Structure 1
Amino acid sequence: MEQKLIGILLNAAAHRGVPQGRTGWESLARYEEAADAYGLTPCYLKLSDIDPASGYSAAYIKGPQGYKRVVIPIPQVIHNRAIYPPGNTGTQRLAARGVKVFNRRSRYGKDEIHRLLSLNPELLRHLPGTEAGSKGLRRMMEQYSDLILKPRRGSIGKGIMRLRREDQEGWVLDYLYKGRMVTVNIDPSKLPHALLRRMDAGSYLIQERIPLAEAGGRPFDLRVTVQRGWGGDWAVTGLFAKLAPPGGFVSNIARGGEAVQASYVLDQAFPARAAAHYRMSAASLSLAVAHCLESSLPGLADIGLDIGLTRDGQLFFIECNGRDQRYGFYKAGLPEVWKDSYRRPMGYARYLLEGGAER
């Protein structure tokens, strides 16, 4: 019986580790379990091994003696789990050949996502105030007393800074350096040239800092995984909370944040009925974001959204992650949801193989 292959496109580093099963938090076992449920066989690819001209690619496929490198026809459907620098057109070239590549791009500029969402009047109220450049920084300092400076591109919280007013005269800049928090006093009339240069280089956005709800004195936001599955429709696979470390302002797990079950922190921060309402509202907002973005981002099918919730119950969109780090569910003690986050994309892959239209 002919195998129905589904390509899993990995970055070179993760791909090198496939024979030994050392792919970090990309769980090969979960891919294989999920693919098997839909009658599929996963094959692990890297972009440089794919030859669109010939129609063939090298790939790793698991057999009785472990992973074997073989040459196969380019799979008809590929799930992109790799991150490429801006300007790389590898997945677009595959799509132009008729290969159905979902999550064609896995990293988007934060300014690009903000711009697309701001065109939707219903989502505009869920977006934090945002500017760019040194002039934008000064405007934001006049309007808000607490700001987040974040790289336009990048992930896991790297490079994020907080700029906050300490009193009528002075401001304070907080940032992580070698795993510890550094605090620097800032004179607003003489902003450091290094900071202004960084803003004017176009690599940073300036946003109002959302006064996040707290659990045990620690701010938290919600990671909501939204994916297409069998049938091609969007659904919320699950959500968990990311707690900032004590005294910190960045909730990313890789920067010291803690993944916990959403119900745990929501029940600490709000009465039971309100906690349930906010959980459902975060899921509804995440679905609305996915539906808004799909019309402008071809192949979008698997995203993780960071949703902020204020102490008075306002919901804010914070960030879209095109390569959702699914291990947060595992760390939060939600192993079945972790498995579901692999199953749903495999259901979508089978749907596409059966002739379903890319949405």
Structure 2
Amino acid sequence: MTNLGILTMTPSESHLYFNEMAKKAQNYNIVLYLFSPLSIDPSTLMIKGYQFDSLENKWNEKNFPIPKYLYDRCFYGEDRKSTEAQAVVSWLKSQPNINFLGYGLPNKWRLYEELKKEPTISPYLPLTKKVANAEQVLAELNMHKEIILKPINGAHGFAVYSFKKIGKSINVRTTKKNRVIEKLFESNDSFDTWLETLLTKQIFIMQPRINNLNKMKEPFDLRILIQKDEEGKWKEIGRAIRCGEKNGILTNLSAGANIIPFHKWKEMNSKLNHSYIEQELNDILKHLPTKLEEKFHPLFELGIDIIIANDQSLWILDMNSKPGRKIIQLTEPNTLDTLYSAPLAYCSFLHSQINHAISN
């Protein structure tokens, strides 16, 4: 039997994805565990968590050693517990006898710095700069008229800002509690004072705003989910268009975006050159996962967000090594069994590869 542990900040809560995985674990000769990084006893390295009982079809509280294989599904906030959990996960990743299905990605700035060196990827990257001060942001805003600020460690659209030059004024917009809020600064001085305070809270990157509004003035992008299969090869699981609210900023589902199956979106936009778009998408999917693993660490899955601009240019907006699955649940329900089995199948592949390497 192979032991696979799922890392989550909330192991006591019911997770559909984890529950469905657990029901299939026995088919792969895998014992599945569920626990928080904070539940590891530093003196004994024993864990208080949950083990799935396939006979009773439920999770039971257990004490157990650290599993040999780990699937990291932790999502961190700005709180102390998140900081402590991140430190534990970093330590786990440094242990030679522990194997993660995927080792994650660095922050957005480091990703950009490395990928812009790659000729197969750099044409798809929006011009990105690390924010140093308010003066730099103002200079960028004067050049591009509208820019986007996002935290280098941000996720789910948290603390993403749009700055737009309107005459001598600056319009600032962000999304809070699923609604866009905005403020108009009548002068550079008042904007500068507000911005300097914002920049003390976290590190930001900035990019020119790419026009990705559809005919209804809704921002939209394409989310593609890819995973490694039972042979360790990258495979596309599904793709869908995410549409935010009218005149909004975000396309994140957590911010209330709607989902359109990709084939329906193509039908709705039949005048676009879909042959060209598909060719560009194929090039991105062919090179991006490979380059990420070459430059950083092994991965198991990726959510890739791509803007299809009004001029039909394609831009890689974001890469997420812990993607959600809602687009698949809503648009490709017939693939859910494959989705739930994928981490188990890949864990079995890793186990066979490691055993083969040891035997040789």
After TM superposition, the score normalised by the length of structure 2 is 0.85
Report what 2:224 is aligned to: 224
The C-alpha deviation readout for 1:226-277, integer Å capped at 9, x for no partner, is 22222222222221111111231211111121122122223323437x3354
Contact 2:120–2:287, Cα closer than 8 Å, also in 1: no
Report what 2:127 is aligned to: 129
Report what 1:31 is aligned to: 21
Q: Which amino acid aligns with 1:7?
A: G
Report what 2:5 is aligned to: 7
Comparing 119-128 with 177-186, which one deviates more in the overlay?
A: 177-186
Report what 2:183 is aligned to: 184
Q: Is the alpha carbon distance of 1:92 and 1:179 closer, same or farther for their aligned partners in structure 2, counting shifts above 3 Å?
A: closer
RMSD: 2.7
Contact 1:224–1:283, Cα closer than 8 Å, also in 2: no
Alignment partners' CA distance in 2, 1:103 and 1:276: 33
User: Does the residue aligned with 2:219 lie in a helix, a strand or coil?
Assistant: strand
For 1:1-359, what aligned pairs fall within 5 Å after superposition?
3-11=1-9, 13=10, 15-17=11-13, 22-23=14-15, 27-51=17-41, 54=44, 56-63=46-53, 64-65=55-56, 66-84=58-76, 85=82, 88-95=86-93, 96-105=95-104, 108-131=106-129, 132-133=131-132, 134-167=134-167, 169-187=168-186, 189-190=188-189, 191-199=191-199, 202-212=202-212, 214=214, 216-271=216-271, 274-275=273-274, 277-279=276-278, 281-331=280-330, 333-356=331-354
Contact 1:103–1:302, Cα closer than 8 Å, also in 2: yes
Q: Is the alpha carbon distance of 1:339 and 1:271 closer, same or farther for their aligned partners in structure 2, counting shifts above 3 Å?
A: farther
Q: Is the alpha carbon distance of 1:238 and 1:222 closer, same or farther for their aligned partners in structure 2, counting shifts above 3 Å?
A: same
Instruction: Return 5+ residue gaps in structure 2 as ranges.
Output: 77-81
Q: Give the count of matched residue pairs.
A: 344
User: Does the residue aligned with 1:346 lie in a helix, a strand or coil?
Assistant: helix
**How many Å apart are 1:316 and its aligned residue?**
0.5
Contact 1:222–1:307, Cα closer than 8 Å, also in 2: yes
Quick one: percent identity of the two aligned structures? 17
Q: Which amino acid aligns with 2:179?
A: R
User: Does the residue aligned with 1:142 lie in a helix, a strand or coil?
Assistant: helix
Q: Is the alpha carbon distance of 1:234 and 1:178 closer, same or farther for their aligned partners in structure 2, counting shifts above 3 Å?
A: closer
Alignment partners' CA distance in 2, 1:115 and 1:214: 30
Q: Is the alpha carbon distance of 1:158 and 1:28 closer, same or farther for their aligned partners in structure 2, counting shifts above 3 Å?
A: same
Contact 1:224–1:304, Cα closer than 8 Å, also in 2: yes
User: Does the residue aligned with 1:354 lie in a helix, a strand or coil?
Assistant: helix
Contact 1:9–1:81, Cα closer than 8 Å, also in 2: yes
Comparing 240-249 with 229-238, which one deviates more in the overlay?
A: 229-238
Instruction: Return 5+ residue gaps in structure 1 as ranges.
Output: none
